[in-house]
Amino acid sequence: MSNSPQTPGIAPARLDAEEVARNFSDLHPAYDDHEAMVAADRCYFCYDAPCITACPTSIDIPLFIRQIQAGHPEGAAKTIFDQNILGGMCARVCPTETLCEEACVREAAEGKPVEIGRLQRYATDALMARGQHPYERGEATGKRVAVVGAGPAGLACAHRLAMKGHDVVIFDARPKPGGLNEFGIATYKTVGGFAQAEVDWLLKIGGITVETGKALGSDLSLDALMDEYDAVFLGIGLQGVNALRAEGEDKGGVADAVDFIAELRQTSDLSSLPVGRNVVVIGGGMTAVDAAVQSKLLGAENVTIAYRRGRDRMSASRFEQDLAASKGVRLIFNAQPKTVHGNGSAAEIEFEYTRDGANGLEPTGETFRIAADQVFKAIGQTLDGAPNGLTLDGNKIAVTGAGRTTRDKVWAGGDCASGGDDLTVTAVAEGRDAAEDIHTALMG
């Protein structure tokens, strides 16, 4: 990162280790047995449950909650994992407030939904704690599939392919698997090394080999993979970061929010991480909120999220916005960055107010400045180089059906593929469905 301890205004150890540990404790602590029973009792067990429709992986939510209520959390976990093999992580990071819980009949009737996410965590944690894997690898088919990218889409695809009896090799550019779950989600949402533990548990099905430090383009050729394997699935995510398009964005103290979050996730001593006194995050999504909240938890005195459109256009949910505000983060809307000021390193950032005009977003000419010794860009990511011969849809790989690309034998899913939301749960669904389609194609 460009944000080193030598950059003026950015320093480590703003808070002592104990306070940092408290700040980064579990955002939603796990239910105990009694709490889970009470929460499960609130479910109406709707026959035509809207929560199932709202779940991108179509988990039978009333069924698994009834299984918890009946005292069978491990059976509930199997119901979840049948549809979403990364159900443990999704229970922690899914924006349930805009998915299943928003659709909950209790939400409509009382303004307080059944806490589906926490119940899902209770069930999946119970089964995973046994250390065993609930699925067996299918009879060997003799087919080999390459999965590029060990994030949610790639892992879900590989697991389902292994269940079908195929041999799978996962390639990933990072030094360890997990993708977004390991490197891109706020630390307080996935405490205790859960992301890595979940990957280790998933791989117990067998038939899956993981090779890290191998990136598509520099280390791997799509053409070579197509020659060597019977099918290829691309779950490579979005590695490029959009430019701020503001003068001075190359100054010291200006960095990508995704790099900041990744460093947070991989450090063994959070209290040693450098953070500014005055932090400004540019963007309106979950990454912006995660970067801003964690800056505050590390001891930044003033943290601001600035978004160029109105509150209602933010992709971060209202729950996430309120979480940021509750931690002392200031949110500014309809403001776009114009210039980063400072002598070599950021000292202030100048914004211009915006408004919705006849031709879209337009500047008003009115500007203001905010002190900023650390600026994080969280303005979206892009595909960093198109794989050989694949048609793009905008800045993503064009796919049809269950992830089929414009090249035979190549499928894609997750953030790198067109369609769908950039969510962990959506990536899991796309990886799972692509695996089913690959299996049909290979055995057809």
Model confidence pLDDT, tens digit, residues 281-310 = 999 999 999 999 999 999 999 999 999 999
**148: buried, middle or exposed (CB in 10 Å: 19+, 13-18, 0-12)?**
buried
Which is nearest to 195 in space by CA: 259, 109, 256, 128? 128
Kind and range of the H or E run holding 17:
helix 17-23
pLDDT of residue 386: 75
One domain, residues 108 and 196: no
Decide if 7 is inside a domain: no
pLDDT of residue 406: 96
One domain, residues 272 and 185: no
**Alpha carbons within 13 A on the beta-carbon side of 215:** 12
Of all residues in the chain, what percent carry a pLDDT higher than 70?
A: 99
pLDDT of residue 239: 85
Q: What average pLDDT does this structure show over 412-423? A: 91
pLDDT of 1 strictly over 60:
no
Q: Which two tokens stand for residue 30?
A: 């796990």
* CA 335 – CA 86 distance, rounded (Å): 37
Decide if 151 is inside a domain: yes
Q: Is the dihedral of CA 35, 38, 42, 46 positive or negative?
A: positive
The neighbouring-strand residues paired with 217 are: none
pLDDT of 132 strictly over 90:
no
Q: What average pLDDT does this structure show over 231-257? A: 94
| 145 φ/ψ angles, rounded to the nearest 5 degrees | -125, 135
**292: buried, middle or exposed (CB in 10 Å: 19+, 13-18, 0-12)?**
buried
Q: Which two tokens stand for residue 265?
A: 């996730």
Domain of 388? 144-239+383-443
Number of structural domains found in the chain: 3
SS (H, E, C) 300-338: CCEEEEECCCCHHHCCCCHHHHHHHHHCCCEEECCEEEE
One domain, residues 355 and 410: no
Query: Do residues 306 and 276 touch, judged by C-beta distance below 8 A?
Result: no
Decide if 136 is inside a domain: no
Q: Which residue has the tokens 């505050």?
A: 296
pLDDT of residue 22: 95
User: What's the CATH number where 413 sits?
Assistant: 3.50.50.60
* CA 159 – CA 443 distance, rounded (Å): 17
* CA 287 – CA 273 distance, rounded (Å): 18
| 129 φ/ψ angles, rounded to the nearest 5 degrees | -65, -20
The neighbouring-strand residues paired with 210 are: 170
Q: Structure pTM? A: 0.95
**Alpha carbons within 13 A on the beta-carbon side of 335:** 18
Residue 144 neighbours by CB distance under 10 Å? 15
Query: Do residues 422 and 378 touch, judged by C-beta distance below 8 A?
Result: no
Decide if 230 is inside a domain: yes
| 136 φ/ψ angles, rounded to the nearest 5 degrees | -110, 145
DSSP state, residue 188? G
Decide if 25 is inside a domain: no
User: What's the CATH number where 52 sits?
Assistant: 1.10.1060.10
Q: What average pLDDT does this structure show over 320-327? A: 97
One domain, residues 249 and 363: yes
Model confidence pLDDT, tens digit, residues 79-123 = 999 999 999 999 999 999 999 999 999 999 999 999 999 999 999
Q: What average pLDDT does this structure show over 401-418? A: 96
pLDDT of 3 strictly over 70:
no
One domain, residues 367 and 248: yes
pLDDT of 207 strictly over 80:
yes
Q: Which two tokens stand for residue 307?
A: 């978004």
One domain, residues 205 and 108: no
Q: Which two tokens stand for residue 14?
A: 């703003």
Q: Which two tokens stand for residue 46?
A: 């709707």
One domain, residues 373 and 391: no
pLDDT of residue 6: 61
pLDDT of residue 419: 86
Decide if 138 is inside a domain: no
Q: Where a domain ends, among 356, 377, 398? A: 377
* CA 391 – CA 253 distance, rounded (Å): 37
pLDDT of residue 5: 45
pLDDT of 387 strictly over 90:
no
Q: Which two tokens stand for residue 384?
A: 């960093």
pLDDT of residue 354: 97
pLDDT of 2 strictly over 50:
no
Q: Where a domain ends, among 329, 345, 377? A: 377
Q: Where a domain ends, among 128, 154, 176? A: 128
Mean per-residue pLDDT over the chain, rounded: 95
